[in-house]
Structure 1
Amino acid sequence: MAGTGRGIRAFGVAGVVARGVYAGLRTRRDERFRRTNYAGRSVDLYSGPAVALGTLAGSATLPTRAAGLLAVGAGALCGAYDDLHKDHRRGFRDHLSALRKGEVTSGSVKLIGIGGGALVAGALLKERPLDKVLAGVVVAGSAHLVNLVDLRPGRATGAVLALAAPGLLRGAEAAVPMGAAVAVLADDLGERTMIGDSGAHALGAALGVAIAGGNGRAGLALHAAGLLAVAAWAESRIPRSR
């Protein structure tokens, strides 16, 4: 019962904060938070910081708050940097190649910031060294996965709901990204907003914390392998300039 109560509270806090922040931000007229979506429609990016703050608030209600706040905070901040300073490069190889030449791109900021935050979060979630590393890979990989599927309205928020739902059987952590995602789902599907990199990475990091916290070594290894395979597949699909 205690776990169920924590989950309901975390879901409610995440959802209420995300919805409240989004409603408040929508009264603003800031062109930095306007984007043109895949269909050529003008949408806002306000749901990104809204779900990030909602996810942070929900994470703060749980015993795993330190790991959750760290992972989600790193995902949200690095994602926000990418939203506002996105460059033309695509994929890990392009960003790492630029970094080797001394150029710090928005992608390298995400790679280093989210990866580092995820590894520290994993260390907070688990006790044994290998489990700490695997948990970090799961957190970072989940953040990357949600960002990868954020190509059309509702895909990222819908994926979070589908992937997090089974985790409710293992702990309250899965309720956090679900609450924040539900809060903006209708506006996302209605093409009034997009969650951007900030929202996608925040939701994905919270999802990763839930997965990592609810699995032992075998489950961690399985999830980490799957997430790495997806990341490698996505990287291979990116066309390279000659």
Structure 2
Amino acid sequence: MIRRLLVSTALAGAGALAARGAWTALRANPPGGSKLWERVNHRGETLTLLEGPAYTLGAATATVLAPGVPARVKAAAVVATVGGGTFGAIDDLRETGKSKGLRGHLGELARGHVTTGGLKVLGIGATGLVAALLVPSHRDRADSGVVVRLLGGAADTLVSGAVVAGSANLMNLFDLRPGRAIKVMLLFAPAASGAAGGRLVAIACGAGAGLLPVDLAEKAMLGDTGANAAGALLGTAAVTGLGRGGQLAVLAVVGGLTLASEKVSFTKVIARTPVLRELDMLGRRPA
């Protein structure tokens, strides 16, 4: 147990160092120039979206170098993280269409309009499925017969892919106030003491913690790039460590919260709930 905690702590530290290193490098040489990444926050102040690429690069790098994580799991995590970050960046930098939320993007796709938001939904869905195919299967060994095994495998892949993609989308819904999305990530830190999946959680949380100071200071934000990457990485950790039942439970929670977000503002719920409000404001400037 102590050894696992030490390993998880070391991996979290590696994620933090990698993310901070990427942040420093990107700030010194922003791709396309610093203006490309500038946005106005909820206060009307200018900040940068470079935190998102820094998170994506840092988390992916730490994953590749992580000891004790099977090669296929590393590949799945990198595909999910980089995929989430890449399609998130397209939406961050080249946003088209006025639709918001998953329902809005799917509605545009149904009408034949491919917006950057719709492209993100399709792209993260595809990379989520690739990640699901790479992660070793958790199918029930009691299954018998070729057809049953094939159908079971296809169903498991779809569920796992939905967990990865759904987690990427859900994390993005929390990136509306300084530090909020990273604080949500850190809620999963207790799961970092597990095996391969736990090590991915440690990296995801560590990379977020390394960038939390600049996020809370309102100098930068994750944007779709970082939030989608973080959610996808945590989703990959979930499908790596959980069996069919556990993944279905995660999918139910992710799906329920995503549907709820179409009707209810998370920001308003947090503001009305004392404990959540205090956690949300922890380390932030007064509103």
- TM-score calculated relative to the size of structure 2: 0.77
Among residues 208, 218, 225, which one is paired with 2:252 in the alignment?
A: 225
Structure 2 matches for 1:186-201, cutoff 5 A?
Answer: 186-201=213-228
Are residue 213 (structure 1) and residue 217 (structure 2) matched?
no
Equivalent in the alignment of 1:26: 27
| Counterpart in the other structure of 1:89 | 99
CA contact (8 A) 1:13 1:57 kept: no
State how 1:1-242 maps to structure 2 within 5 Å. 4=5, 6-28=7-29, 30-60=34-64, 61=66, 62-63=69-70, 64-87=73-96, 88-127=98-137, 128=139, 129=153, 130-162=155-187, 164-170=188-194, 171-237=198-264
Which string of whole-angstrom CA distances, capped at 9 and with x for unpartnered residues, describes residues 211-235 of structure 1? 2211112211111111111111112
Which string of whole-angstrom CA distances, capped at 9 and with x for unpartnered residues, describes residues 39-69 of structure 1? 1111111111000001111221232111101
Same amino acid, percent of matched pairs: 38
3-state SS of 2:262 partner: helix
Give the whole-Å Cα distance in 2 for the aligned partners of 1:232 and 1:220.
18
Report the Cα distance in structure 2 between the residues aligned to 1:139 and 1:172, rounded to whole angstroms.
16
CA RMSD of aligned residues (A): 1.9
Check the 8 A contact 1:167/1:210 in 2, yes or no: no
Output the CA distance in 2 between the equivalents of 1:108 and 1:179: 30
Q: Structure 1 pair 119/69, CA: closer, same or farther in 2 (3 Å)? A: same
For the Cα contact (< 8 Å) 1:10–1:179, is it kept in 2? yes
Distance 2:193 2:3 in 1: 13
Which structure has the larger Rg?
Answer: 2
Task: Note the alpha carbon deviations across 1:121-168, whole angstroms, 9 max, x for none.
Answer: 122224232332222221111111110011100000110111x21221
Within 2, Cα distance between the matches of 1:182 and 1:139? 21
Over 4 Å off, 4+ runs: 1-6
Please give the secondary structure, in 2, of the residue aligned with 1:153: coil
| Contact 1:11–1:175 under 8 Å retained in 2 | yes
TM-score by length of 1: 0.90
3-state secondary structure, aligned to 1:26: helix
Amino acid at match of 2:20: R
Tell me, yes or no, if the aligned pair for 1:78 and 1:198 is still in contact at 8 Å.
yes
Is the alpha carbon distance of 1:74 and 1:125 closer, same or farther for their aligned partners in structure 2, counting shifts above 3 Å?
Answer: same
Number of equivalences: 237
Determine the C-alpha separation between the residues in 2 that align with 1:116 and 1:110: 10
